[in-house]
Amino acid sequence: QTVVTQEPSLTVSPGGTVTLTCASSTGAVTSGYYPNWFQQKPGQAPRALIYSTSNKHSWTPARFSGSLLGGKAALTLSGVQPEDEAEYYCLLYYGGAPVFGGGTQLTVL
Amino acid sequence: QLQLQESGPGLVKPSETLSLTCTVSGGSISSSSYYWGWIRQPPGKGLEWIGSIYYSGSTYYNPSLKSRVTISVDTSKNQFSLKLSSVTAADTAVYYCARHIIAAAFRHLDYWGQGTLVTVSS
C-alpha cells in the first residue's frame, strides 16, 4: 500500500513564508511522480494550484510555487495572506494511478 | 469556462449500487488528451481517487476499489458516470468529478465539480 505523507498542520504569520512537503513511502519523490498541489477551503471543492512539480495553472497566485526539496515535493507560499488558510493536498502519480496525501491544515495566525 | 456538475441520489442503502453522473459544459468530453475522473472525500477526511475514463471508453481504476467500480461515458450527452456496487457506510462521502489530463509531460486534475454528498444508510 503506497502512502503519501504530509505534515498534518502548520502555522504561519501573515506576510511570512511557509513550505509544505509531500513524501512517498516508496522513496524519493522525483518529477516522474508528477507532483500536484491542491487547496481546499471548508465546504468547497479542491482547487488545483500546481501540477507536474512546479507548473502553475492560470488562476494560481504568484505567491505559490512548487519544487522538489530533499527527496520530497514541496509547496512554498511566500507573503502569506489570511485567505491562504486552508487544507492543502498533494498528489503523486504511481505508474499512472494518482494517490493523494493526507493533507496539511495551514493556519494563518 | 469549463464546468462540471455531479448529480444523483444523495442516499443509498447498504449493499446497493451508488450511481452518479457528471455533466460537462463549456467544452467537449471528446477532446483528445483529456480523461475524466471521479474522486471522493469522506466527511472530515482526505481525498481518494476512484478512477478515470477517456472518451473512447478506456478506463483505469484505483486498485483498492476496482472490483466494485464501473465508470462509463456518454459522448452524445457530454456526460460520464460512476457506479459503485455493494456499498457500505464507509462509502459515505462527497463525490467529485474532475477533468484529468494525462500526457507525457503533464498529469493533473484541473477543473472540478462542486461535489455531491452521498450517504449510505438504511
Residue B111 confidence (pLDDT) above 80: yes
- Specify whether the CB–CB gap between A10 and A86 falls below 8 A: no
Considering only residues B117 and A96, tell me which one the structure prediction assigns the higher pLDDT. B117
The set of cell numbers assigned to B44 is 472530515
Inter-chain CB proximity A96 and B62 less than 8 Å? no
Arithmetic mean of pLDDT, A23-43 = 97
* CB < 8 Å to B62, chain A: 97
Count of Cβ atoms closer than 10 Å to residue A95 Cβ: 8
pLDDT at A95: 84
Mean predicted lDDT score pLDDT of chain B: 96
Distance (Å) from the C-alpha of residue A58 to the closest C-alpha of chain B? 10
**Residue A103 falls in which region: left (phi positive, over 0), alpha (psi -120 to 50) or beta:** left
Beta bridge partner(s), residue A27: A24
> A9-12 and B93-102: which strand pairing?
unpaired
User: Tell me: the pLDDT tens digits for B45-67?
Assistant: 999 999 999 999 999 999 999 99
Distance (Å) from the C-alpha of residue B71 to the closest C-alpha of chain A? 15
Inter-chain CB proximity A48 and B112 less than 8 Å? yes
Pick from A54, A51, A41: nearest CA to A93: A51
Q: Work out whether the CA dihedral B92, B97, B103, B106 comes out positive or negative.
A: negative
Residue A96 confidence (pLDDT) above 80: no
Task: pLDDT band for B31, please (50, 70, 90 cuts).
Answer: confident
